[in-house]
Structure 1
Amino acid sequence: MGVRERVQALAGVPVQTGSRPVVFGANGHHFRLEQVLSPKELAELEAQIGVRLPEEYRTFLLQVGAGGAGPAYGVFSVQLKDGRWQWAGDGADLADASRLAEPFPVAGPDPTIVEALLKRCPQEEDFDDIEDFDTAYEAWDGQWLEVMWNPQRTVGGIALCHLGCARRQWLVVSGPEQGRIWSDDRVDEVDLAPLLDADDQPVTFARWYLDWLDHAEQQTHSQQK
């Protein structure tokens, strides 16, 4: 049974027990997949972005689906809108489709700059007036965003999946990390970092997706017993 068929086989399984989802995020995507891309559509997409996508992800788009069921709330969909290909999902627009051919910057910001910024973060209890605190925090937040959320940080990457609470995962398209998944917990003041397995090995797209599918099958089958 192929990967698409394995996912579709889960579509008839109850995704929730009481208020708890059987598989995290499945009550959002319900194990539904988008239609696959045709080779012609994939060629058009790659011509538009100016780079060949990682092989495992290309196979997914051609044989499994252009998005849908997957880790957490699902894989962001590739869609054709107004004659242009784009990724759709909560935070998919963080990726700059015009800069996917540029190498993904492995190195993050200078740790000393980040540490200094965190130390300077205004604390509400240090202010007598809440408006003064709001003003100070807004000024600090602008500096924080410039360092941590600068678009330059994620060139060469696709925002692929939303984990909830503004946490996401990225697929690196260009550069030495091509084909690997990176975690984005910047909302929790944690920098971008490669996703590693239990043996501290980088996780590629196929491993990321198949590990999720194996887990989903185990969880749904145990629920049916």
Structure 2
Amino acid sequence: MTAVDQSPSLPVLDAAQARVLGCLVEKEATTPETYPLTVNAAQVAANQRTARDPVMALSTGDVHHALRQLESLGLARQQFSSRAERYEHRIATALDLTRQQVALLGLLLLRGPQTVGELYARSERLHRFADAEEVRHQLERLIQRQPALVLQLPRAPGQREDRFVHLLGGEVDVAALAQRVQPDAPAGGSSALEQRVQQLEAQVAELQQQLAQLQERLGG
């Protein structure tokens, strides 16, 4: 068996819905001044070329449909403003999650399978964990839930650390995920530089989102 069955009591999201939900979680923490998100802002966030795996090219219609579907599942809620409809996530209420768990699930929705170390390093702007052990503890709580929201993947050849994946996308093909994930990089390397580049690219993406918001306020 290479797949893990998904409990029918959990919402099952397609790729677009998972990406958009992850964006709502991320932008609530990183750009609260533009949250809840308009459809256009959600599209910009969903199609970022950094901090996303895989990179996607969703249309406005794709994103709008995903938001409406998330709303029907109780995972998002529409807010109205004078100029545009806006959406906020409701994942904490719908799934009874803590802030720490929302942050981790948001990262898994946006970036696919990740190690404890990766989640700890990438979570700072969503939630500041005390250390990697706190991240692991929260992941274990998500695994032990009934039904589980997170799965610990078996290690593929060349990997030294366990990876974790969310279970909101239906059936998980463990073998296929193992083939996608690259072997762990040697210790040291250019991880600090890569992290700095990712931070700068994320800032550019946020500026693009704010520009889209400003264009909407100015009527196009």
Fold-level similarity (TM above 0.5): no
Q: TM-score range by the shorter chain?
A: under 0.3
- Which structure has more RCO (C-alpha within 8 Å, separation ≥ 6)? 2
Structure with max Cα Rg: 1
Give TM-score, length-normalised by structure 2. Answer: 0.24
Give TM-score, length-normalised by structure 1. Answer: 0.23
